[in-house]
Amino acid sequence: MPTTLTPEQEQQAISLIRGFAMDAPLYAKSGHQGTAMALAPLAHTLYARVMQHHPHQPHWADRDRFILSAGHASILQYSLLFLAGYGLELADIKAFRQWGSATPGHPEVGHTAGVEVTTGPLGQGFANAVGMALAERHLRAAFGADVQHHHTFVVAGDGCLMEGVSHEAASIAGHQQLGGLICIYDDNHVTIDGDTNLTLSDDVVGRFTAYGWHVEQLGEIADDCDALEAAIRRAMAVTDQPSLLVLRSHIGSPSPDLTDRHEAHGNPFNAEQISRTKAVMGVPDEAFWAPDDLVAAYRAHCAGRGAVAVDAWQARFDSSSLDRAAWDACWGATGVAGWQDHLPTFDQGEKIATRVAIEKAFNASLHTVPGLVAGAADLTGNTGTKLAGQSPMTPTSPAGRQMHYGVREHGMGSAMVGMALHGGVLPAGGTFFVFLDYMRPPVRLAALSGAKVIFVFTHDSVGVGEDGPTHQPVEHVASLRVIPGLQVIRPADANETVEAWRTAVEHDGPTALVLTRQNVTVCTDGSAVSVGAATVLDTDNPQVVLLATGSEVSLCVEAAAALAADGLRARVVSMPSVDRFLNQPAPYQADVLPVGVPVLSVEAGVTFGWAQFADDSIGIDRFGASAPGNLVLEKLGLNVANVVARATALAASKG
């Protein structure tokens, strides 16, 4: 049965949090204590009074989500995870920001139990929260409020709301009327450089009101748990708007030296300043003060509240008539048994753009991959992310699987990361490849956090044509390949595209699909994708290997025929996924790229990175040009004649 904390215990817990917020950065000689100190009552109110969560079941599907978008204040969250009983102990708090600890500098999902998303780059957590709220509402509509009905709480600061991604994400949330989303804005008037009046004169209330948010100015209640709880519960009662609660806090409070000072932001207090602050709080002047009886009472309280909530939910779930196979597939971000059997195949010689092929793969999976939610940054039809017969996800149709993000690449990417980390949704989002530059932060964070997101990038080369170099990606695929943990696939044709989709669904992490605008000839059976690279055209005792990706594979097949007519034997290898190939055993790699046989790589992008496989490279180490796509490719050397000439010269030079 749940227990109740006394007012004295609540105040002690707040003092403990503030003590940890000072002690841990001092021991680490690094960290941000001021925000954590100021928000200790808020965090306590959320964890001990408001949120439905169970420390012993941190992955319970219907828990409320808490996101610390101001991730630099991580010691605040770690203190609550310690108190609530999520597995952190005093040794972990003392190891704050140290090698191998469970308390890294910024919260990392999958690293510390109870952390929902990886935050740090300001504004990302705020945008992730929008995605989480979208996922919750979508699942509630799909499976019923009995099994999915919770709130997403996010704490954001001035820095989060200054970053451009917050504007995109807030606009999405307001348009979608996400009543389950509650943001507490820590309005402390301080940034690292000084008072916010140095850089900021926004009317935050007016801004969010214009977005369609419910906004309430809470004023000076940062230390009043009863008032904080009442305000949060008022916001929870708003069902047709996201809520912004503007909380005037005082950074570093209750320090007699540094309250409201920008020095409290990122510089650890010294020992004397900590001692004076603990005297104000009326707690012992000892490092990491954490009375055993207080910690035990707090953990029993949170576990008891959580057990009641989980047991009630489990009873509702057990009596629900929901489709269990669909539920499991959604939460596994995969397909139901045998889902791959419905995927299309394409005939050799058929000409089809890979962006068209991915749409066919998506639509073949609609009923067998029930968690799939696809959309684009105002480019749905252009990027192959249009789902046949599916209604848009809107406030009146929240179960819709077609998501329209508008011209908001950054917001789209970050929201998709939030959807994936919420669980129950497999988000796929498309844009032109060159606009990766507008959403690189969430792509990187998806990789860092292992979020299962499908990034669909189309118009993948100078083959885009007349739009010119501003829209023609050349360095982008190379830049993706260097991101650890990101699966990158540039399929050669429609068959490899379908296989890329299958691989993405089965992969435990994010995938970037890099697809063509222009039609390309089907020349593979798709088998290269699973192993990263494979031979698509072979010959006895090859004298040269033509190694290519994407649309250049069919070009190399043509070139190989021309070389054969000239008496030069060429093997053609498709390498849709460099990272998957590098994960293959060395004997397989040597079988595909035999030692002693010269390799010419061919890709319509920068040649950076190909030296690890190739003796020579054809690529585009410059920006493109405005002209018909086939002409740009021709002029920049992506043509049969150039491949034949370079392959012939390479074979001759290697004897």
Positive/negative CA dihedral, 29, 34, 37, 41: negative
Q: Is 540 exposed, middle or buried, given 0-12, 13-18 or 19+ CB atoms closer than 10 A?
A: exposed
Containing 427, the helix (H) or strand (E) segment is strand 426-432
Residues 6 or more apart whose CB falls under 8 angstroms from that of 476 comprise 433, 434, 436, 437, 457, 460, 605
Containing 351, the helix (H) or strand (E) segment is strand 351-352
CB of 433 closer than 8 Å to CB of 463: no
- Catalytic annotation, residues: 409
CA 628, CA 70: separation in Å to the nearest integer?
47
- CA-nearest of 144, 139, 76 to 106 is 76
DSSP, collapsed to helix, strand or coil, labels residue 286 as: coil
Q: Bridge-partner residues for 334, per DSSP?
A: none
Task: Give the tokens for residue 24.
Answer: 């841990």
Containing 269, the helix (H) or strand (E) segment is none
CB of 191 closer than 8 Å to CB of 158: yes
Cis preceding linkage at 254, omega within 30? yes
Q: Torsion over CA of 479, 482, 485 and 490, rounded to 10 degrees?
A: 60
- CA-nearest of 384, 415, 409, 455 to 176 is 415
CB of 212 closer than 8 Å to CB of 241: yes
CB of 128 closer than 8 Å to CB of 56: no
Length of the chain in residues, anyone?
655
Task: Give the tokens for residue 72.
Answer: 């630099």
CA 378, CA 612: separation in Å to the nearest integer?
38
Task: Give the tokens for residue 495.
Answer: 């068959």
CA 318, CA 314: separation in Å to the nearest integer?
6
